[in-house]
Structure 1
Amino acid sequence: MQITNNISSSYNQINLVKKTKETAKTSFASMLENNIEKTEKKEEMGKYVTYLDKFNIFDSFSAEDRKIFRKILRDDKLTLSEIDSLSYEQAERFRSIGIAPGTFLSEEQFNNCPILTSSNQVKDMLDSTRKTNNKTFNEALYRTAREIKDDHDRSEILGEAQLQISTLLSNSGKSSGVNQWDWDYDNMNIDFSKFLNDIISKYEELIANPPNKNPQFIKQQQKKLDGYNIILKHFNDIKNENTRYA
């Protein structure tokens, strides 16, 4: 009888030790998880995110986008690698808080908004997603902005493309007439394939038959031609991708 009691007592002690270890293990895992959550929350609390939270800006995004966008913005800066981590569709949506929070804020609120640091290339990429009402062309500009690393060269070709679009819209009555950049996005109706090929032909002609033999003039036209060829390449690539995955 004594032997049975000893065996039972030993069994209970073993179970108690086992449960204690399991409880300790669970508590440690829970503590670790809580610490991770606290760290993530702390990392999210940059000035920019905190300010936007005052106006519930992130509520307009899906749960997935909200999590990704807050993580990107948590340190009050945007990097090229962070933008590269987004799909183009996400970049389109991210633009509104990445470079244009005024979309959600009043003028006074926008003026008080903390600064979000980013490179010119990042700004150009995000800005390209809203240049026209043609998604394929916008994405071609986006990829072009990603490809051209030099700020001056990139700004020059994107500005040139914007000027040519503005000229086309002004001639067709799709510009306000007051501000050449004030476009009627919903009714642009531009054949961008024709638009790009026409401009490329124009610059090829200028280079082949320049109005003057100034080497600098020819060099400038060649640089513009090279830029438009990059845009056209991406434009055609995207069209082919869309056809392939349709």
Structure 2
Amino acid sequence: MQVSNNQEVNSYNHKVTKTQEVKTSPSTFDSLLEKQKEVPAKEEGKLIPILEKYNVFSDLSQSEEKKFREILADDTITLKELDTLSYAEAKNLFSHTYPKNLDKKEFDTLPIIKYDSHNQIHAMQLSLNMTYDESLNEAMYKTAREISSDEQRDSWFQNINHKLDNLHANRTTYVSEDYNSHIKNIDGGSFLSKMVNDFKFSYSQDFSDGTKMLLDSYTLLQKYYNNIENGKNELYA
């Protein structure tokens, strides 16, 4: 929203700018003028008209549509904007950033959505559909948001991707037989208990900074997962 000390009025079909008068001493008048600067309006992007053309917002509630339009108006998603959304809203936002069923030629013409913290938001976005366990996905999303260090977050995210791929390859008890090549069926609680215990043991052996970062990350992930699961149990108790 543009904020200004100026008020625009129309008189005899002419556009006139009326500046609010401020009583001040001559000695401070020049400095006050220097401070009267407009806050720039949010730059208009190219994505919204395309989403409108393909009725992407048609299945949203009015409140969600308003939020998503405001966020996507400049073809940019910021951490501050994501922090205003619940996990469910964030998941819905990212699923409405591009029209469905476009051919390659149409898809290639779409504007690229920019992230103000690219690595972090990218990890958060990927977490949304990482597994069929929504509690684990949400916990990963929150973990990626909380870890501010790119080094720690990237190390953990690469590690958990590798671990999930290995679970499928080894057909361990954490993955069911109807595994989809892109999304894993997984018992998040058992998986995280194993990861935390494994890294506790590894750190007791090597005391390396890298192992400590992974242990801290998985411990944080487990905390979020348990909080989410406990919340569900209380809701349905």
Shorter-chain TM-score above 0.5: yes
Matched with 1:32 is none
Distance verdict in 2 for CA 1:103–1:201, change over 3 Å: farther
Counterpart of 1:85 in 2: which secondary structure?
coil
Distance in 1 (CA, whole Å) between partners of 2:93 and 2:188 is: 25
- 1:116 and 2:119 equivalent? no
Q: Which structure's residues are more often strand, by fraction? A: 2
- In structure 2, what is the Cα distance between the partners aligned to 1:223 and 1:111? 38
Please tell me whether the aligned partners of residues 51 and 99 of structure 2 are also in contact (alpha carbons under 8 angstroms): no
> Paired residue for 1:192, among 185, 188, 195?
188
Aligned 8 A contact 1:140 1:231 in 2: yes
SS of 2:58's partner is helix
Find the structure with the greater CA-based Rg: 1
C-alpha offsets along residues 74-133 of structure 1, whole Å, 9 cap, x if unaligned?
Answer: 1221111111111111111111234xx275533222211112211222222222111111
Q: Which runs of 4+ in 1 moved over 4 A?
A: 42-45, 173-176
Question: What corresponds to 2:199 in structure 1?
Answer: 203
The amino acid across from 1:199 in the alignment is M
Aligned 8 A contact 1:96 1:103 in 2:
no
CA contact (8 A) 2:56 2:99 kept: no
RMSD value over aligned CA atoms? Answer: 2.3
1:137-167 per-position Cα deviation (integer Å, ceiling 9, x unaligned): 0000011011001222212212211111111
Structure 2: which 5+ residue stretches go unaligned?
1-40, 172-176
Partner of residue 130, structure 2: 131
For structure 1, which runs of at least 5 residues remain unmatched after alignment?
A: 1-41, 177-181
The 3-state SS of whatever aligns with 2:135 is helix
Task: Give the aligned partner of residue 28 of structure 2.
Answer: none
Going by fraction, where is helix more abundant, 1 or 2? 1
Task: Give me the whole-angstrom Cα distance separating, in 2, the residues matched to 1:75 and 1:104.
Answer: 24
* Percent of pairs with identical residues: 31
For residues 93 and 132 of structure 2, the distance between their equivalents in structure 1, rounded to whole angstroms, comes to 17
SS at match of 1:58: coil
The offset of 1:174, in angstroms, is 5.8
Task: Give the structure 2 partner of residue 225 of structure 1.
Answer: 215
User: 225, 233, 237: which is aligned to 1:235?
Assistant: 225
- Matched with 2:6 is none
Match of 1:65 in 2: 64
In the alignment, the residues of structure 2 paired with residue 194 and residue 231 of structure 1 have an alpha-carbon distance, to the nearest angstrom, of: 13
Q: Secondary structure at the match of 2:96?
A: helix
TM-score, with length taken from structure 2:
0.72
